[in-house]
Amino acid sequence: MGCTESVNTLSPLVSSNGNRKRIAWFYAANPNPWDEDEPKEWKRYSDFENAFIEEAYQRQDDE
């Protein structure tokens, strides 16, 4: 993703399906995510990106 596409504002969502948990990461996709008065528009990362982000999060990587 280019730096103009989104902001690194990540938000995890945990859902359980039976005994299995699934993590989904979202990013703020509204035109100006830092504007508190602007409604938030959250978009989900792809399955591939979600897996990559979650693996890094579990390893406690900085980026």
Model confidence over 3-37: pLDDT tens digits? 334 445 556 666 656 666 778 999 999 999 889 99
> Domain locations in the chain?
22-29+40-62
Model confidence over 51-60: pLDDT tens digits? 999 999 989 8
Query: 58: Cβ–Cβ under 8 A, 6 or more apart, which residues?
Result: none
- The answer to whether 26 and 11 have CB atoms below 8 angstroms apart is yes
pLDDT band at 41 (very low <50, low <70, confident <90, very high): very high
Query: 41: Cβ–Cβ under 8 A, 6 or more apart, which residues?
Result: 28, 29, 30
